[in-house]
Chain A
Amino acid sequence: AQTVTQSQPEMSVQEAETVTLSCTYDTSENNYYLFWYKQPPSRQMILVIRQEAYKQQNATENRFSVNFQKAAKSFSLKISDSQLGDTAMYFCAFNTGNQFYFGTGTSLTVIP
């Protein structure tokens, strides 16, 4: 079965600090893609960062980076220099073939 687990339903971080959101997944596939999506309150879901499973180098996008551990099936998101606009629900997901599998989400609050 393809599953995604986000064990932290809620997290908070002080503005300008660093926070890490955890994600583990399970799949028997060898080729897949991993994603972190952000859903701000009452706003559209947008892609934060993407990682290709065959690439060992961790993806980075400005203040967002991932720690991808393929053997452990772990894909955590690090947000540096947290900003108030980072307050959102964050979903970890992976894709194989035509289907995407999402975790249950982590609600992140950035505290001024």
Chain B
Amino acid sequence: DVKVTQSSRYLVKRTGEKVFLECVQDMDHENMFWYRQDPGLGLRLIYFSYDVKMKEKGDIPEGYSVSREKKERFSLILESASTNQTSMYLCASRPSSGTAYNEQFFGPGTRLTVL
């Protein structure tokens, strides 16, 4: 089974702190994604990566950056956390070919609270 793991299920940080959210997948997928999920807004794409060291902005990249130094790991960085970044963050991965080509596999999510 494809496994996507995220470093924390719950995280509490203070305004202005630098925050790292880590995501690791074990199926050699080329594509990885970061979403934030808010009630009434669904999932909104922050960034995605289609290869090591490659990244593309999604719909709401402001206030975030990403890093993909290795194929299996995709990190989301909040340079200076703000209260409006309190949310559930979901990581997903997806292969570039094969029978699961058009399926995204999700991690369990990280619920981030910024005080």
Contacts and interface: CB of A to CB of B under 8 A. Distances in A.
Nearest to B43: A102
A41 to B, nearest CB: 12
A57 B56 CA distance: 34
B108 A43 contact: yes
Contacts of A102: 35, 42-44
Interface string A1-38: 00010100100000000000000000000000101010
A50 B94 CA distance: 14
Interface in A39-58: 43-47, 50
Interface string A71-103: 000000000000000000001010100111011
Interface residues of A, number: 22
B104 to A, nearest CB: 6
Q: Chain B interface residue count: which class?
A: 20 to 34
Give the secondary structure class of A's interface.
strand
A95 B90 contact: no
A9 B39 CA distance: 10
A98 B106 contact: no
B103 A47 contact: yes
Contacts of B33: 100
Nearest to A47: B103
Nearest to A99: B45
Contacts of B35: 102
What 6 A-B pairs are tightest by C-beta distance, nearest first? A45-B106, A104-B42, A102-B43, A33-B102, A102-B42, A44-B108
Given A37-B106, A102-B43, A102-B44, 6 more contacts: A4-B42, A45-B106, A91-B42, A98-B31, A99-B58, A100-B33
Interface of A: 4, 6, 9, 33, 35, 37, 43-47, 50, 91, 93, 95, 98-100, 102-105
